[in-house]
Amino acid sequence: MQTTLQQPATFTGVGLHSGQQVSLTVLPAGADHGIVFRRTDAAGGGAVIPALWNHAVQTPLCTQLEDAAGHTISTIEHVMAALAGCGIHNAMIEIDGAEVPILDGSSRPFVMGFLRAGIAQLRAPIRAIEILHEVSVTHNGATARLSPATSMQIDFEIDFPDAAIGHQSMLLNMSRDAFQRELADARTFCRLSDVEDMRTHGLALGGTMENAVVVDGDRIVTPGGLRYADEPVRHKMLDALGDLYTAGAPIIGRYTGLKAGHALTNRLLRALFADPTAWRRVSCNRAMAARLPGQGGLLHATARVA
């Protein structure tokens, strides 16, 4: 069944790129509402922007939504990954600024906040997107692909010149609480050589050693080191899950990313929805729902019918 939160969950912090203090509250919503953002600081009672692929604009370092009036909400991928990974299908997200707070650089704070708030089942079936045939996009040596599978899977590969990252790959079946176990606490990362360049261009103004993993050649500069030996590829998988959730529903299929990023995943969704033979919407029975993120395990004990 579809889900939402039992009660609001609030998060405060700074935006990774803007450096601005912001407050974000995830509110319960009814069945088939989907995930929607509202900029409460916008004039006229707030700008409402659905968290959908066709509201995303092409940006290399984050996923950004924009409405027809030019209101934007950026760096949505970590909270979207937490919603997807926890199997939360409906929420109104109120935010008083233009960028989602980075918190510790992962999705873990969002997941913990959602679990504290409680997850409520709604009296409506989950409507998933089933991939029927392969769709692929390639740009500058990077590839993103969706192909048929019986569950949601993410297969990712990265290759960086820095020895502290190097070549990493991982394939994960995202069923049940796999996201919470394997990906949720993987933090965003960057190369020390890129930090000054980003700040010159007005980016990463809120980045610190507490909310990002910084690498320099073969060194992990961030105190405490990595949470996993392959934390960078796990975080890229986290990002991919959040970006894919802008499809507007869970996906039944395998996502394969080779050096892919936010913009390429959005291009993939645009290619998918441009081909009506490549996908279909399905109402999930209990067995199908169990193969999606967030069903069963830790979250099952917190759910109730609302």
* pLDDT 10s digits, 91-143: 999 999 999 999 999 999 999 999 999 999 999 999 999 999 999 999 999 99
Q: How many domains does one find in the chain?
A: 1
Residues annotated as part of the active site: 262
The three-class DSSP label of residue 136 is: strand
Stretch 206-219: mean pLDDT: 85
Residue 266's pLDDT is what?
A: 97
Q: Is the pTM of this model over 0.85?
A: yes
Stretch 217-246: mean pLDDT: 96
Domain, as residue range, for 121 = 3-305
Alpha carbons within 13 angstroms on the beta-carbon side of residue 179 total 38
Cα-to-chain-centroid distance, residue 297: 20
- Judged by average pLDDT, the poorest of 158-167, 203-212, 243-252 is 203-212
- Judged by average pLDDT, the poorest of 152-156, 206-210, 213-217 is 206-210
Whether 301 has a pLDDT exceeding 50, the answer reads no
Q: Give the domain CATH number at 130.
A: 3.30.1700.10
